[in-house]
């Protein structure tokens, strides 16, 4: 069995579908084949611009037979690539000859401590969340559970810790505040206060805002405030998990606030000696003391491992984080093979305000870029990297609040030489500007995302903001009029 195509894309996630869609636009008469192991594919819908380069969108899951696209699809698993002769073999034995190949095989949960010899029974009590199957497994385990441990401080942990019902939750984080991959301690506190004061059913009708405070903080103050134990508190929420009933075995209980264990990690764990199948956990706190607790199972929300479990005739260059290295045209080191989305690692020299984070937004941008880049190679044209790689931008929701993250939003790689300008109105908005040499380098906008486009412009243009002082966030001054 064999077939031919000009372009072969592997993976039916956002990256793969975006790549196939841009190829279909750029090379409408070429043969394009999307190979994916699952009959469910993901695509971007309801694309709404938030600013010039920032978009909000929904991710839709569709059966592969329902997509009306200008490319062909085939459900099977990639097993082997012969890069020299430009063909692949699938698990079912189909050989596909290609002109150009793009790998968009995503990632899988990077479970903490998995695969330890002699700990198979314990490791079976550690689960990760990636797809509908893993959520079903979570549901099934929850049904019997009274206590669950969530490990990690990123997107998934933040969503789950406040969504599970009818179960005691231990949330174990390495940091001194929650949701550290997305926000700073100030925003974490904003969320916590809001979570305490605004009940879920009131979220569309929040308390009238109180006074607005604007504060400028230097790096040295940031460090000391992070070390302040009294600020170590919590909160979080929404979206995919709302489609599932995530209820634990404590049938008469609703949502139980999680118990957050700050600045600690799991030192060891073993099966509980009572023989009922739960785990006994030993936590080690940063100050050296240990704490013991029990749980039915662990949700390891500890990041993503790029997935490339197929064989090749020649090796890919693989980065330290396990991703396939790509250049700014999304090309790998093997001829005519590209990669995009969670499976790849950007190894080009990035623009000053861009960095890689494994998110839908970047899967879409990289997939489209790979499509355009392959099309240009096919047509013998020269193109340049898309402008979206000039500025990191992410639009999401946390605790029911719209959130926009721009540039170096938590001072990533800015060393110790930066200032924060924060405007906060309780239960309404939290706006943080990260400034270096009076230039805007990054921003977090929570609750009020109107400033997104102005922030984009200020970051990209590098305008000296010294003349405006703290007025730049004065709620009585319309800075959009100043700079747009
Ligand atoms: C629970 C959860 C919630 C998230 N929420 C958000 C969010 O709110 N916002 C956000 O920006 N990001 C979010 N993310 C991250 C986002 O899902 C990923 O960054 C994005 O899906 C990556 O897209 P991708 O196309 O690279 O990979 P994937 O979506 O993982 O798609 C990879 C595809 O390749 C297929 N595949 C893999 N190997 C093979 C093979 N050998 N042969 C054939 N097919 C193969 C897989 O079946 C899959 O269809 C979330 C992630 C998780 C797990
Ligand atoms: N709203 C959104 O945009 C959402 C996005 N996502 C995305 O989905 C993907 C998967 O989410 P998630 O699994 O939460 O991954 P994330 O990368 O968001 O977070 C992983 C967290 O786990 C911590 N961690 C890593 N290893 C350990 C360990 N051994 N012990 C304790 N903590 C550890 C990390 O800390 P450190 O960083 O210090 O290593 C980090 O806080 C990510 O790409 C995420 O961005 C998921 C849900 C929602």
In this predicted model, what pLDDT tens digit does every residue of 11-31 receive, in sequence order? 999 999 999 999 999 999 999
Residue 126, number of CB atoms within 10 A of its CB: 22
Instruction: Give the mean pLDDT of 106-133.
Output: 85
**Within 13 A of 453's CA, how many CA atoms are on the CB side?**
11
Q: Has residue 484 got a pLDDT over 70?
A: no
- What's residue 338's pLDDT? 98
The reported pTM is: 0.90
Instruction: Give the mean pLDDT of 143-159.
Output: 93
Q: Provide the terminal-to-terminal Cα distance of the chain, rounded to the nearest Å.
A: 59
The number of the ligand 1 atom at minimal distance from the alpha carbon of 131 is 53
Pair 265, 174 in one domain: yes
Asked if residue 220 belongs to a domain, the reply is no
pLDDT confidence band for 74 (50 / 70 / 90): very high
Q: Has residue 198 got a pLDDT over 80?
A: no
Q: Is the CB of 284 under 6 A from ligand 2?
A: no
Nearest to 30 by CA among 98, 96, 103: 98
Q: If you search the block for the tokens 């412009």, which residue do you land on?
A: 457
Asked if residue 415 belongs to a domain, the reply is yes
In this predicted model, what pLDDT tens digit does every residue of 114-123 receive, in sequence order? 667 778 888 8
* 159 CA from centroid of ligand 2 (Å): 11
Residue 216, number of CB atoms within 10 A of its CB: 15
* 372 CA from centroid of ligand 2 (Å): 30
Residues with CB under 6 A from ligand 1: 10-16, 35-38, 42, 77-78, 104-107, 129-130, 155-156, 240, 307, 310, 341-343, 358-361, 363, 396
Q: Is the CB of 216 under 6 A from ligand 2?
A: no
Which of 303, 325, 341 finishes a domain? 303
**Within 13 A of 148's CA, how many CA atoms are on the CB side?**
33
Q: Using most ligand atoms within 8 A of CB, pick from 363, 394, 400, 405 the residue to mutate for ligand 1.
A: 363
* 81 CA from centroid of ligand 1 (Å): 21
Provide the number of structural domains found in the chain: 3
Pair 100, 115 in one domain: no
Domain containing residue 158: CATH number = 3.50.50.60
Which of 332, 359, 388 finishes a domain? 388
Q: Is the CB of 304 under 6 A from ligand 2?
A: yes
Pair 187, 292 in one domain: yes
Q: Is the CB of 155 under 6 A from ligand 2?
A: yes
In this predicted model, what pLDDT tens digit does every residue of 244-282 receive, in sequence order? 678 888 877 888 888 999 999 999 999 998 888 899 999
Asked if residue 418 belongs to a domain, the reply is yes
Asked if residue 9 belongs to a domain, the reply is yes
What does the alpha-carbon distance between residue 241 and residue 291 come to, in Å, rounded to a whole number? 30
Q: Has residue 129 got a pLDDT over 60?
A: yes
With the CA atoms of 359, 361, 367 and 368 taken in that order, what torsion angle do they form, in degrees rounded to the nearest 10? Answer: -170
Pair 161, 269 in one domain: yes
Asked if residue 96 belongs to a domain, the reply is yes
- What's residue 253's pLDDT? 80
Pair 138, 173 in one domain: yes
Strand partners, 291: 283
What does the alpha-carbon distance between residue 109 and residue 57 come to, in Å, rounded to a whole number? 24
Helix/strand/coil for 246: coil
Sheet holding 259-261, edge to edge: 126-127, 297-300, 147-151, 168-172, 259-261
Asked if residue 453 belongs to a domain, the reply is yes
Which of 388, 418, 438 finishes a domain? 388
Asked if residue 18 belongs to a domain, the reply is yes
Q: Is the CB of 404 under 6 A from ligand 2?
A: no
The number of the ligand 2 atom at minimal distance from the alpha carbon of 158 is 14
Domain holding 95, by residue range, is 2-106+307-388
Q: What are phi and psi of 298, to 5 degrees?
A: -115, 135
Residue nearest to atom 31 of ligand 2 (CA): 152
Pair 324, 354 in one domain: yes
Asked if residue 46 belongs to a domain, the reply is yes
Q: Using most ligand atoms within 8 A of CB, pick from 154, 236, 265, 298 the residue to mutate for ligand 2.
A: 154
Q: Is the CB of 156 under 6 A from ligand 2?
A: yes
Pair 150, 278 in one domain: yes
Q: Is the CB of 152 under 6 A from ligand 2?
A: yes
Pair 344, 376 in one domain: yes
Pair 116, 52 in one domain: no
Pair 131, 259 in one domain: yes
Instruction: Give the mean pLDDT of 93-108.
Output: 97
Q: Is the CB of 59 under 6 A from ligand 2?
A: no
Pair 371, 431 in one domain: no
Domain containing residue 462: CATH number = 3.30.390.30
Q: Using most ligand atoms within 8 A of CB, pick from 20, 34, 37, 127 the residue to mutate for ligand 1.
A: 37
What does the alpha-carbon distance between residue 418 and residue 425 come to, in Å, rounded to a whole number? 23
What does the alpha-carbon distance between residue 423 and residue 435 come to, in Å, rounded to a whole number? 14
- What's residue 225's pLDDT? 45
Nearest to 341 by CA among 69, 78, 102: 102
Q: Is the CB of 159 under 6 A from ligand 2?
A: yes
* 151 CA from centroid of ligand 2 (Å): 9
Pair 139, 284 in one domain: yes
């Amino acid at each position: 069995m064999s077939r031919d195509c000009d372009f072969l894309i592997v993976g039916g996630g956002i990256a793969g579908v975006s790549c196939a869609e841009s190829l279909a636009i750029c090379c409408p008469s070429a043969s394009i084949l999307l190979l994916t192991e699952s009959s469910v594919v993901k695509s971007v819908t309801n694309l709404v611009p938030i600013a010039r380069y920032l978009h909000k969108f929904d991710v839709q899951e569709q059966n592969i037979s329902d997509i009306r696209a200008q490319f062909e699809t085939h459900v099977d698993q990639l097993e082997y690539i012969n890069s020299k002769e430009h063909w692949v073999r699938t698990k079912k034995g189909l050989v596909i000859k290609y002109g150009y190949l793009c790998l968009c095989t995503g990632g899988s949960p990077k479970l903490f401590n998995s695969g330890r010899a002699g700990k198979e029974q314990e490791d079976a009590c550690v689960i990760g969340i990636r797809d509908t199957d893993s959520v079903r497994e979570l549901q099934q385990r929850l049904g019997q559970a009274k206590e669950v441990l969530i490990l990690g401080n990123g997107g998934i942990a933040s969503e789950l810790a406040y969504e599970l019902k009818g179960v005691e939750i231990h949330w174990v984080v390495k940091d001194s505040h929650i949701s550290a991959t997305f926000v700073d301690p100030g925003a974490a506190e904003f969320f916590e206060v809001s979570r305490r004061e605004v009940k879920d059913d009131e979220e569309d009708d929040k308390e009238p805002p109180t006074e607005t405070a604007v504060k400028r903080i230097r790096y040295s103050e940031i460090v000391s405030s992070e070390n302040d134990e009294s600020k170590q508190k919590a909160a979080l929420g929404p979206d995919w998990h709302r489609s599932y009933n995530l209820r634990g075995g404590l049938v008469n209980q609703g949502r139980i606030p999680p118990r957050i264990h700050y600045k600690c990690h799991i030192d060891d764990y073993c099966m509980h000696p009572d023989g009922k199948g739960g785990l006994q956990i030993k936590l080690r706190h940063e100050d050296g003391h240990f704490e013991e607790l029990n749980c039915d199972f662990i949700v390891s929300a500890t990041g993503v491992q790029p997935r490339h479990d197929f064989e090749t005739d020649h090796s890919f260059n693989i980065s330290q984080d396990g991703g396939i290295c790509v250049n700014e045209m999304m090309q790998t080191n093997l001829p005519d093979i590209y990669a995009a989305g969670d499976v790849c690692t950007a190894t080009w020299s990035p623009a000053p305000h861009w960095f890689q984070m494994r998110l839908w937004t970047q899967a879409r941008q990289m997939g489209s870029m790979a499509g355009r880049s392959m099309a240009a190679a096919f047509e013998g044209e020269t193109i340049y990297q898309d402008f979206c790689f000039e500025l990191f931008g992410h639009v999401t929701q946390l605790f029911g609040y719209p959130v926009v993250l721009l540039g170096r939003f938590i001072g990533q790689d800015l060393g110790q030489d930066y200032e924060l300008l924060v405007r906060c109105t309780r239960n309404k908005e939290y706006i943080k500007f990260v400034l270096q040499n009076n230039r805007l380098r990054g921003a977090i906008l929570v609750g009020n995302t109107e400033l997104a486009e102005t922030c984009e412009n200020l970051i990209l243009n590098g305008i000296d903001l010294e003349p405006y002082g703290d007025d730049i966030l004065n709620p009585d001054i319309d800075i959009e009029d100043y700079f747009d």
